Amino acid sequence: MQKYADYIKEIEIDSLWAGQKHIRWELNRHVNILSGINGVGKSTILNKVVKGLAQGG
């Protein structure tokens, strides 16, 4: 039987917005909040996380 992690511990994204940003987000086991004004990249970050999970990685 394959085991999986209890939760995502960290998200790291290189080359966000044409290489201008490096994102490293250490996640808490209980709750995490991603907030900001319109246009700062919240959806972009979440879309990259979903894509990475779908690719296994």
- Rounded distance, CA 41 to CA 37, Å? 9
- Rounded distance, CA 54 to CA 57, Å? 7
- Rounded distance, CA 2 to CA 57, Å? 16
Domain boundaries, the chain: 10-54
Q: What is the pLDDT along the chain (57 residues), one digit of tens a residue?
A: 667 667 889 988 887 777 677 889 999 988 999 999 999 889 988 998 899 888 875
Is-above-0.75 flag for pTM? no
